[in-house]
Amino acid sequence: MPTQTSSRPAAPQPVPQANGTSHYFDGVDLPALAQRIGTPLHAYSASAIRQRISELQSALAGLDATICFAVKANSNLAILQLMAQASVGADIVSVGELRRALNAGIPAERIVFSGVGKSADEIAGALNVGIMRFNVESLDELHTLQRVAKAQDVTARAAVRINPDVDAQTHAKISTGKSENKFGVSIDEARRWFAERKRLGHVQLDGLHVHIGSQILSLDPFRLALQRVAAFWRELEQAGHPINSIDVGGGLGVCYRAGTDHPVAAADYVNVIRDALADYRGKLLLEPGRYLVAEAGVLLTRVLRVKPGVERTFLVLDAAMNDLQRPSLYDAWHDIVPVADAPRPLVTYDIVGPVCETGDTFARARELPECAAGDLLLIKATGAYGASMASTYNSRPLAAEVLLNQGRYAVVRRRQHFEEMIAGEQPARNWETT
């Protein structure tokens, strides 16, 4: 791997910011947009996403590297199209995501398939379209891949997902690289796979993969994981097992809480890769999800009412946990700001949605300029794991999604109609026996 660091310094460009003090996000007037489309509403800045892609791409200059966007972070077709236009591939975890990626114009040869539960049918579907490689997570999956590839009379390209037993120092539910987690296999097990690899007539096992978790804000876990992968790679090469691809996964953290979260810079992250794999000459893959899209998204929501309680004052929004699960699922912090003109006194609120769960809480004891019914708020950094994790819980239709681009907007998912929400359901009319 050439380690030239003569990467052109990226010209500092203003990243579109939705900060509440301005009504504009990527040149689009947010109050007018909320008026036009209604709330709750997911808005994404295309300019901000492009900027993140190009930051990472320029950090990778000189390397034979492909960025494969983790589709689960935001699987909207318009977002995937942005990726395709920027030559970004896809990291998929289901055939549904495969179809989305292909549909958006991401070529199969830039698609990698991860996940512990790929079914034989899913493997067959992905083999059929000729994806770049499978990140294999268990011996049973490796044998399934061999069997399905043999049946199709093709050779599947595969990487073994290593579980490096590294603590990503992130939330337990998004940590994936500890030996207690369900992901990947130990280096000991992977060593046995390679020793037997020639028996796999229809699987070309020549890749390594690692993904230790998400929302990682320190370089140390990356460094440690990559050192372990690099040592294993050297061992394999010496044992006569050529490694043609190393997939370093995703996990780069973003800023959810201004002043507290300090994400690592793309260039520093890539330097860790350059250092750990300095003498590696094969192909590099990266699977960022959150890093590319989280801060490019906001959830626009209105205050339904202010409810004074005995101990707390509740700000009840028209957005809920079904639109954005992260706070209820991971106790995640999202900055929340009013889209307001005049400065107002600060009030402490519990910010909640209408869903009938106490967990439907976006923030507890949060200081906000005083709000009234009808006020527009921004929940920030919702571009990743927001809409893609949404549900219709409480029979709330899926929110609209809008892409913003330099003063213009396009609806990229219309608000779900009631009829769409119940489509497929039917009364138990036709009773059958098996």
Ligand X SMILES: *Cc1c(COP(=O)(O)O)cnc(C)c1O
Choose which of 287, 318, 335, 360 interacts with ligand X (CB under 6 A).
287
- Kindly state whether residue 55 participates in binding ligand X, applying the rule CB under 6 A: no
Choose which of 25, 113, 291, 349 interacts with ligand X (CB under 6 A).
291
- Give the integer Cα–Cα distance in Å for 151 and 121: 12
- Give the integer Cα–Cα distance in Å for 220 and 283: 23
68 tagged catalytic: no
Q: Output the smallest distance, CB 301 to ligand X, in A.
A: 23
- Kindly state whether residue 350 participates in binding ligand X, applying the rule CB under 6 A: no
Between 66 and 114, CB nearer to ligand X: 114
- Give the integer Cα–Cα distance in Å for 4 and 43: 38
Query: Which residue from 140, 135, 241, 157 is spatially nearest to 202, judged by alpha carbons?
Result: 157
Find the part of the chain contacting ligand X (CB under 6 A) among 65-73, 191-199, 343-351, 398-406: 65-73
Query: Which residue from 329, 318, 325 is spatially nearest to 415, judged by alpha carbons?
Result: 318
Per-position x/- string for 359-398, each x denoting binding to ligand X as judged by CB under 6 A, each - no binding: -------------------------x--------------
- Give the integer Cα–Cα distance in Å for 392 and 406: 31
Between 274 and 290, CB nearer to ligand X: 290
Q: Output the smallest distance, CB 290 to ligand X, in A.
A: 4
CB count within 10 Å of CB 305 equals: 13
Per-position x/- string for 109-148, each x denoting binding to ligand X as judged by CB under 6 A, each - no binding: -----x----------------------------------
Between 298 and 303, CB nearer to ligand X: 298
Site for ligand X in 79-98 (CB under 6 A): 91
Residues taking part in catalysis: 356
Site residues (vs ligand X, CB under 6 A): 70, 72-73, 91, 114, 211, 214, 249-252, 287-291, 384
